[in-house]
Amino acid sequence: MGEDPHYLTPDGFSTGFEGYLNPSDTDYRAVLTSGMVVLDTNVLLNLYRFDDDARNDLLAVLERLQGNVWIPHQALEEFWRNREQTILSRSSIRRDALEALKKPIRALESAIDTWARNVGLSRDRLSDLLSLIHKTHESLNDAIEGPTTRDPLASARDTNLDPVLASLHPLLAGRVGTALPNEDFISALAEAKRRADAQIPPGYMDRDKPDNRGPGDYLVWEQTLREARRRSADVLLVTSDVKEDWWRRVRGVPVGPRVELVDELRARVGTRLFMLQPQQLLGIAGRLLDVEVQPGSASQIASTTAIVTPGRGSGEGGHVRLYLTSALEEALSPTVVVKASTGTGESVWDVSLVASDGSTALVWIYDPVKPFNDLATGSVLSTARSMVASIQGMSSRPRIACVVDLANLMNRMRMDEEPWARTDDDRLMTKVFETFQPHVDELGRVGFDAVQVIAGVDQAESEAAEAFQRIDQVVETVTLWFRPAAGQDAP
């Protein structure tokens, strides 16, 4: 039995529990070559956010799968509705990044100048140091601007000049579903509301979306079910959306489609459901179908979609947010509302909590993309100070906590040849924590009521277990803050 990866037959031990099984390479190869590869809206929109290599690699994989690719009508409608705004945000993000660089540069200049005057540094030496800061600023500007000052998607708002549309047109021609007939559409809206009220996946996480956009996910699902029944085909849904009404999660990490969705497709169509994020599709299709993929494309797609997709961070921070939010909701009384930031500018805090008596708490997940830069420039502390300052105008000061996720710092130290390459993992984790400890102390002095440091939830099993235990300590601390509001005895 141990030598046969397919011993779990439909008539055997796994019958009725297919939603818990992990697909094999054979399963993925079958659905990629003879099933339906369904693309969600975010897969298409994110093509405008990737760099050239990642975008071309994903398009190459989709071209290889061309005969099996299919787009629900609802997904394409959402693509066209959001396309221009996505292109505009690409430019605004670049401008915001360039503008954001000015503040730390000015702070560095001021700090060096103050230090130089107090230690009697010569003007020539001061000039050299300021010149070094200016050169660094120019290098960072050049990196953001790219090798040329012209963005390859600068003219993409014009549909005649949009290279993404030029690639998608032949790829998706004849592979888009039709809209639901009017009578069916009205019935589907009523069913979407019923399911959202009963928290039946998918779509209930979007029930409060404005402008009647709440039913969108359910419409995508219903149209997919109908097409799968017409073809009698297995379905591979590719999406960057990792909300809980699509994915079955273990400790906050998406591990497969919701069991209810697997069962619904099997009941209505008699076929199987698979789900992948775009970066996973890139790796699996590249490996199984011999599509050449650049080594960094998958990680670039993962990091980009993490930033723009609700509930995700630049690295493991999104998983931390998901787990932290779920754990807080479970631990606290229903009188405390727990809300995770969508990352769309509504809040600089990752998790906010408001009790019925008006008391509040806020949690910031510090998840650096370039940790050594953050430590060298002190930007983590300047950011922390600005976040503390952002709450000073509130009528009553909320309790604030910070979860420091050092997954990127640990990975960087592990990759560097000197001096960490010769350090065993246990010692490495200790060194990671020691490296950041002075900043933990400073966060407390800045004004944070609780600070907890983890080294990534996707590390080795023992390290991940320790990370979750540390997050649980944050949950326990925050729970103590709200005990009076929850009608419990104060600690």
For the beta carbon of residue 387, count every other beta carbon within 10 angstroms.
Answer: 19
CA distance 310 to 345: 11
Supply φ then ψ for residue 199, to 5 degrees.
55, 45
Q: Is the pLDDT of residue 491 over 70?
A: no
pLDDT tens-digit map of 8-36: 455 567 777 888 888 888 999 999 999 99
Burial pattern 291-313, b for ≥16 Cβ within 10 A else e, equals bebbeebbebbbbbbbebbbbbb
Residue type, 76: L
Burial pattern 116-142, b for ≥16 Cβ within 10 A else e, equals beeeebeeeeeeebeeebeeebeebee
Q: Mean pLDDT: which of 93-107, 409-423, 443-457 is highest?
A: 443-457
Residues 6+ apart with CB under 8 A from 147: none
DSSP secondary structure letter of residue 419:
S
Q: What is the pLDDT of residue 460?
A: 56
Q: Mean pLDDT: which of 140-144, 152-156, 339-343, 396-400 is highest?
A: 396-400
pLDDT tens-digit map of 437-452: 888 888 888 889 999 8
CA distance 484 to 461: 36
Report pTM.
0.57
Share of the chain above pLDDT 90, in %: 28
Q: Is the pLDDT of residue 109 over 90?
A: no
Kindly tell me the number of DSSP H helices and DSSP E strands found in the chain: 17, 11
Residues 6+ apart with CB under 8 A from 243: 205, 206, 310, 311
Q: What is the pLDDT of residue 363?
A: 92
Confidence label for 324 from pLDDT (cuts 50, 70 and 90): confident
DSSP 344-372: SSS-SSSEEEEETTS-EEEEEEE--SSHH
Residue type, 443: L
Q: Are 208 and 214 in contact (CB under 8 A)?
A: yes
pLDDT tens-digit map of 206-259: 776 655 567 889 999 999 999 999 999 999 999 988 888 898 887 667 888 999
Q: Mean pLDDT: which of 12-16, 60-64, 242-246, 312-316 is highest?
A: 60-64
- Classified as helix, coil or strand, 4 is coil
Q: What is the pLDDT of residue 176?
A: 94
The alpha carbon of 336 is separated from its chain's Cα centroid by a whole number of angstroms, namely 25
CA nearest neighbour of 349 among 335, 333, 336, 360: 360
Q: Are 44 and 162 in contact (CB under 8 A)?
A: no
Pairing of strands 36-39, 450-454: unpaired
Confidence label for 39 from pLDDT (cuts 50, 70 and 90): very high
Name which residue leads in pLDDT, 28 or 329.
28
CA distance 471 to 328: 10
Q: What is the dihedral of CA 299, 82, 171, 282, to 10 degrees?
A: 10
The alpha carbon of 192 is separated from its chain's Cα centroid by a whole number of angstroms, namely 25
Helix, strand, coil percentages for the chain (3-state, nearest 5): 55, 10, 35
| End-to-end Cα, the chain, rounded Å | 54
DSSP secondary structure letter of residue 339:
E
CA distance 277 to 283: 10
Domains in the chain, CATH or no CATH each? 15-297 (no CATH), 310-482 (3.40.1350)
Q: What is the pLDDT of residue 425?
A: 54
Q: What is the pLDDT of residue 169?
A: 92
Q: Are 363 and 474 in contact (CB under 8 A)?
A: yes
Q: Are 406 and 429 in contact (CB under 8 A)?
A: no
Q: Are 236 and 32 in contact (CB under 8 A)?
A: yes
Q: Is the pLDDT of residue 70 over 90?
A: yes
Q: Are 409 and 368 in contact (CB under 8 A)?
A: yes
Pairing of strands 247-250, 253-257: antiparallel
